[in-house]
Structure formats: C-alpha cells, structure tokens
Chain A
Amino acid sequence: MELSSFFLMRHEMVLLAIALILIIAEILIPKQKKSSAVHLAIFLFGIHTALGFFPLEESSLFGGMFRTNSLIHFFKNVLNIGVFILLLQSADWIQEKIVKLNRGTEFFILLFFSLLGMYFMISAGDFLMFYIGMELSTIPVAALAAFELVKRTSSEAGIKLILSAALASGISLFGISLLYATSGSIYFHDIIEVITSNNLTILGFVLFFAGLAFKISLVPFHFWTADVYEGAPISVASYLSVISKGAAVFILMILMFTVLRPLMEVWENMIYVVALATMFVGNLFALRQQNMKRFLAFSSIAQAGFILLGLITGTQLGTASVVYFVMIYIFSNLAAFGVVQAISLKTGKENIDDYNGLYRTNPKLSLIMLLALFSLAGIPPVAGFFGKFFLYTAAASEGYYFLVFLAVVNVTISLYYYLLVVRAMFLRTNENPIPFFNNKLYMRLGLGITVIGILVLGVYSPLYDYIYELSAVFNQ
C-alpha cells in the first residue's frame, strides 16, 4: 500500500486536520480573543469545502473497509456545503452565547468529528467501518444537543438523544451480527455474493434497518425527534434534520440497492408501509404544532417519508432522485432553520404566533421563509417541486401509483401547515410584532446561499443529469 493511496481519504484527512488545528487553537488563543476561533473554523471549513470539489479516483482502501466513488464523493461535497451553510448561520449564536462560556471551539470540534463519522459511514465498505462511522457521527451530536448547559431542556435533549441513539445502534449491531451469522462476512462485497432471502437474514436486515430508521426518524422510530429538536440549540436541530438525516438516507439507500438487493421483495413492502406511516404521522402531527422547532421536526419527519418513495424503486432513477431531493431538502430546510435561528437569537421568540405580521417588519426574512416553506411543500418554481416530482416519477415508473397518490395527498396536508406559517407572517397583523433587525454578515451569507440554492437547483437541469450519471455506480 502506497502512501499516496491515502489521498482517497482526502475529505477525512483534511477534516481531521481541521479538527486538530482547532484543538491546538483552543489552547493557544488567549481567552479574550476566543471569538477569533469562530472565524478560523469557518475559514478552514470553507477551504475544506472548496478542496472537496477536486476530482478523486474511485477505489478502496484497507482491503475494502473504506471505499469511495464519484457518487459518494459528490454526496460528501453536498454534506460539506450543508455544514458550511450551517456554520455561517450559527456563527452569530456562537459568538454571542457560546464564546462567553468559553466553549466556542468545542462546538466546532464536536461538529467536525460528527461529520467525520458521517464520511466514514457513507464510505464504509464493511459493517465494521459502517458501525464505527455511525457511532462517531452520533455521540458528538448528543454532546452538542446538550450544549446550552444553562437550559434544562437542552440537557434533556442531550440525554434523550444519547439514550435512544444507544438503543438504536445496539439493535442495529444485533442486526449486523445476524447478517454476519448468515453470510459469514462483514465485507459488503462478500455479502453480496452469498446473501439469500431466509428468515434469519430478514430478521437481521429488519433490525439493522431499525437502527438507521432511527437516524432518519422514520415512523415508528421518530419519537425522539420533536423533543430533541425543541430542546437542542437550533443549529444542532438543524444539523440533525438535514446533515445527519441526509447521510443516513444515503447509506441506507446504497446498502439496500447493492448488498441487500436480494431481499428486495421484503424491503419493498416494508418501505411501502413505513413510507406511508412516516408521511401521515409526520404531517398530521405537524398540523397542531405551535413551536417552530417542533413544527420543523414533524415536517422533517414527513419529508423523510417522501424520500422513501425513491428508495422503494431500487433503480438508478430512484438513486438519482433521492440524492437530488436530499440536496434540495438540505438547502430548503437550512433556509427555514436559518430564519428561525436569526429570529430566535434576536428576540428569543420561537412560536408561530410570534411570527404574526413578520412581513411588515422584516420582509426579507419572511420572503426567505416563504421560499423555504414552498420548497419544502413542493410548490413550483422553487427547487422542492422538482425534487418531489422526480421522486414521484421514479416511484410511479415502478408501478407505485397508489403510493404516489397518497404522497401527493400528503403534500396537500403539508401545504396546510406550511401555509399556517405563511398566514402568520403575511396575513396576520400583530400589536407588538418582531421589530426590524439587521443580520450580521455570516447570517446573511448563510441565508443568501440557501436562497440561491432554492431558486437555482431545481431549474438548472444539468445538475440532475450529472447526478443521474453518477448514480449508475450502484445500479449495474
């Protein structure tokens, strides 16, 4: 093995280096200047994101434990952009609230380690690497959820997350061990050869699926979602809802389409039921939420249900549509969370009723929120429409017309609660509305990028073609 083959792990290496630099910076930077660590972290991560776009070869390392290819590479870049936006949006919060507690750098270090875990998870070539990645991605997030030590809800969120995550990964590990018992290997490329549909394998798969379903917050593994989102700092909730969910969906899809394809007859039916349950539960519970964070939590549960529409197909079209949708979803949801973050930081208000009359005082923020919600609901011409339409097409092309129909019914339900927020911002008036405020540079950048993403990603068709080409990797 040559040293140069480590370049395949460029993403991981660079991110690890950044995390280590930050640890050193934490020691070196004097106490009064701690806020400069925020600039440093964002700057370094910006470079890392840019570096990610250089092309990479397709190969594997460590005897197949770690693999990378163009689609995985692309998806890591998508995650990078998401995290970068997230950092920009949370910079103000960190500088105002966290640096005072002398924990600014810590936030970035934990976040980067969690992201590193996701890289390993989606690059995994065997179940061991996969499991390590999954754990590495979860545990720091639990620490992050409990980050606002002064708030009891925050600690509650942290404990809830770590306990349910531990349980989920335990179950998942049990499933993996059953798969190992039936196939005699933990390497994906070995398992593909020998896996057959028998009871023990199916049991193993279902348990394994449960662990990932927890991360994607699919029904019935969604109970932690709303509580954790509500208690955790907004940046962390937003990280959980987009980055963590996106990565988990991606690896689940890869595994189902390659290693577990022989079990397709089983997982087809399973996904069908789970998709319906997730969409309906997410949407119906979102209807009556008052807190914006809980509201977005249930909305993101429902969105996960839509993603399953692409997973059920097992085709290249499905893969491409899922990746495309996840990318759009990252931008849309980050825009929504960004606005919630900005308002919460300035005024501490997080309820939908507090947003009454927002347009008259803060038109820009309201318009960004409007775009984000329309994109989540799938209203043209913003990106979400295209993402959803392609998911429907992918599912319908495999004959799931009825599922598509129910999904679109769900879109109508979801439109109701998205419009409730629009109603609050645009239709209602308020005696003491949220006063006008200007956002700082980082927040403006963070919101600006999401808006561009929402407006451009859908209409710009070469992007989809590109993803479609990449998706061929897993669908020979």
Chain B
Amino acid sequence: MDILSLFVVLPVLVIIALVFTKGLKQARQIAMVGSIIQLGMAINLLFAYLKEQSINDSIFVFTRDIVWFEEFNIHYNIGVDGISVALILLTSIIVLAGVFISWKTYDLPKEFFVSLLVLATGVYGFFISIDLFTMFLFYEIAVIPMYLLIGIWGSGPKEYSAMKLTLMLMGASALLLVGILGIYLNSNADGGPLTFSILEIAQVNIPFEAQKLFFPLIFIGFAVLGALFPFHTWSPDGHASAPTAVSMLHAGVLMKLGGYGVFRVAMFLLPEGAMEWSWFFIILSATGVIYGAFAAIRQTDLKYINAYASVSHLGLVLFALLMLNKTAWNGAILQSLSHGFMTALFFALIGMIYTRTNTRDITKLGGLLKVIPFISVIYVIAGLAYLGLPGFSGFVAEMNIFVGAFQNEDMFHRVVTIISVSSIVVTAVYILRVVGIILMGPVKNESYLSLPQATWYETTGVLLLLLPIVGIGVAPLWLSDMILKSLQPFLQGVL
C-alpha cells in the first residue's frame, strides 16, 4: 500500500471498525484514534514530501497509476504536490478537531462519526487524485454525507438547509460533469488517445473554442462549492443548521475543494479559457467579497455572520486565482489554508458558546469575557487573525493576494483590486462589532454567570486549530516556498 492510498483506505477501515462499536464512548474513541492516525500520516506525508521534492523534479510525487476502466482510459491515478500536501494536513487537523468538538454527540453517535469519515474519505481522495474521473467521484462522495450530517444532527430548519445544500452542490456538479466530459473528449486534439489524466491533458493544446465553452462550466461547477456569488446561498443556510463539527469541516475543508478544483482543473487544463473569461468571474468574485462582508455586518446570528464572512474570504480565493499570477496564486492557496483553520476555529468557538448559552443571537449575549474567559480570549484571537492582523496567517495570505492582484497593470484589475481591498475594513467592522457585543460589556443574562468553563476535549480541539494559524503567521516562508515551487508548472500555461 502506498503512502497516498492509505489516506483513502484508513478512513474506510475506521468506518468498518465504527460499524461494530456500541454507544457513544466506543464510537468516539475509535473515531479519535482513527483521526489521530490520519494526522500522523499527514505529518509524515509532509516530511516525506519535503524530502522527496529535493530529489524529484516531477510536478506530482508519490504517483501511482492503475488502469481502471480501460475502454474509457480511466485510471486510478494519484499523486501529490506541495499544495495538496498542505491541504491534506489541513483536512486531517480539522477532522481531528471536529471529533473532539463532537465529543458529546448523544443521538446516533456511530452514524455521526461514520458520516464524518465518509466525508473525510471523499476530501482526501479528491486532494490526491490526478485523474478527472476519480476526482469527480471523490468530489461527490465528499458532498453527499452533508445531507445526513445536517439533516439528522442539525438544528433549526435543518431539512430545508440540508436539501438546499445538496441540490445546489449536485446541480453544480451537473455543470462540472459536462465540463469534464468536454475536456475528456477534446483530450485527443493532438492526436493522442482520449484521457482523463490531468498531467496528460495538460500537454495537449485543447482547441480554443472548446476551452471557451467548457471553462465557465468547470469554473462554476467548482466555484459553487467555493461559494461564488451568486451561487453562495446554500452556504449560510447550511452552516446555520449544521452541527458544530460539520460546520467546521464544511467551511474549513469542503469549501476548499472548490478553489482547489478551479486551480487544478479549470486553470491548469483550460488556460486560454481562463484568460478569456477571467474578467467576468473577477467581477462575480469581487462582488462576492464585498457582498459577503456587508451581509455579515447585518446578521445577528453568530453562525450567519461567520458564514457570510466565509463567502467574503473564499471570494478572495477565487479572486486571487483569476488574477493569473504567481504572487496572487500563492496568496490564494495560503488563504485557503488560513481560512480553513480560522473559520473552523470560529465555528468551534460558536458551537461552544451555543452549547453553554443555547443561543447564537448576538443581541442576547454579552459580557462573556468575564464568565468564560478562555473561550472568549481565543475568540478575540481568532477574530484578530480573521481581520488580517500581522502575525497571523490571514495577513500573509491577504497581503499576497492583493500585491499579486495589483501586479496586473491595467485599469480594470486595479479598480477591482482596490474595491476588494476595502473588504478588509468591513471585515474589521463585523469582527470587532461581534467581539464588542458578546464578549465585552455587562453580562446580559443572570444565568450566564454560572456557565461552565471549556472542557479538556474542547480545549484540545481549539488549540489544535490555533497552532497552525499562529504557525503560518509567524513563519510563513517554509510553507510559501513549498507552495511556490508547486505553482511553477501550473503557471506556465497562463503566462
């Protein structure tokens, strides 16, 4: 078994083990052990990758290629570069944190962890695939458990949110599927065989007409998952209804699939299409950045605030990718990672506040800093990281994005960049507003005075997420080195 396939096989083994457990205690222990092993594997992969890339010059390392469906030239083709390694690490950390945060899932615990791990399997599989078919397969595997996760363990209008989310994402995959078939059927443009392999297609000059036709399909197909305006509406509802761990995984990992897919498939395989269409999607993503930020100001539900903030921040990822240069792309990947950690942390904290106070309405909360200091302090730190304070990961990412975006010298790019930069100010407004209302001031409700402090499992989960945020913020260079090196081959198409 190679080092990468284990990422798909291990969660499946854990799922099988989970099937035989009884009760919450056993289920969460198995899930925890499984997730810790996954984290260990991810760290191991990181070091193995760093070692490998110094001696191996290929785009993807640890590749493995097994023919699957011969007639269609479908392969089980896997491999990683620096970007997927970083995202796999992100996933494994968030999954583990998610298991800790869901320590007290009383209703159908076994099924909960199984669904969570199915989702994780899909995400890992997606990040390691370098074959369009397997990639699409894992993409759908990652999306579908969300229906059960939100529908069974959610709160509020959960049936509605779960259905909306599933249908919108599956509808998007309709576009994606047609786009993938379009690429596949044009992959013989240079006289070779039809293929789904990303590396082989990248060598082919797909006709311009086809690129122009299929780029928007693939872009929108993936970007719906990345909350592209105006297709973001599934995201706030989904977040608001989802249980804490699911919100974390959803915003922290699942939505990253969108940006990653855009980068890996749309930009890499259809570079001419990207240049042709970039102006249109830049406008959409910039609108999303601003719209998300302003929408977040107006919300009173903590989860909705964070959900709209995610729309804004992930809009930046798409925005940066469309800038088609190295600095901006580096920023996009860093933003994906940093947003993943930060937003997962936020949702974890919101979940902790919610389980204690039974409300997420900011008008009812107040003075929490006095009663639950640990949670509140972390909340402030997360907020500061979110609004891009130097020393945290958000700053590094956004800096790169805007510098990269401004490198485009024409009027259009500069104007949209300036508009998008203004979202930073708005971010500060909504973050500080929430901090001011719920953490500072007098305690609004007498019963809050006796709120319990954070438990050990909550603390562990939270610290697990805080660590990388600070880590990337303080020492971003080793990470961006790894990313920049992996970006090189992808840039050749668009430069």
Interface residues of A (CB under 8 A from B): 317, 320, 374, 379-381, 385, 389-390, 392-393, 396-397, 401, 404-405, 408-409, 411-412, 415-416, 419, 422-423, 426-427, 461, 464-465, 468
Contact = CB atoms under 8 A, between A and B. Distances in A.
Contacts of A419: 147, 163, 166
Interface residues of B, number: 33
Given A389-B133, A401-B181, 8 more contacts: A317-B71, A385-B137, A392-B181, A396-B178, A404-B181, A405-B175, A416-B163, A427-B151
Interface in B130-152: 133, 137-138, 140-141, 144, 147-148, 151-152
Nearest to B150: A427
Interface in B315-342: none
Nearest to B143: A379
A402 B173 CA distance: 15
B69 interface: yes
B301 interface: no
Given A422-B147, A465-B70, A380 B140 contact: yes
Nearest to B169: A412
A374 B141 CA distance: 11
Contacts of A404: 177-178, 181
A388 B167 CA distance: 18
Contact of B141 (A380, A396, A411, A415): A380
A411 B159 contact: no
B459 to A, nearest CB: 32
Given A423-B151, A426-B151, A412 B178 contact: no
Interface string B160-190: 0011001100110111011001101100000
Contacts of A381: 137, 141
A411 B170 contact: yes
B174 A390 contact: no
Nearest to B141: A380
A97 to B, nearest CB: 35
A360 to B, nearest CB: 8
**In the complex, the 4 A-B pairs of residues with the closest C-beta atoms, listed nearest first:** A408-B174, A396-B181, A427-B151, A412-B171
B106 interface: no
24 contacts: A374-B144, A381-B137, A381-B141, A396-B181, A396-B185, A397-B185, A401-B182, A405-B175, A409-B171, A409-B174, A411-B170, A411-B174, A412-B167, A412-B170, A419-B147, A419-B163, A419-B166, A422-B148, A423-B163, A426-B152, A427-B152, A461-B70, A461-B74, A465-B70
B137 A415 contact: no
Nearest to B72: A393
Nearest to B178: A405
B174 A412 contact: yes
A396 B68 CA distance: 20
Contacts of A390: 69, 72
B69 A461 contact: yes
Contacts of A396: 178, 181-182, 185
Contact of B148 (A320, A385, A416, A426): A426
A411 to B, nearest CB: 7
Contacts of B177: 389, 392, 404, 408
Nearest to A462: B70
Contact of A464 (B71, B174, B181, B182): B71
B137 A465 contact: no
B159 to A, nearest CB: 6
Given A379-B140, A422-B147, A416 B167 contact: yes
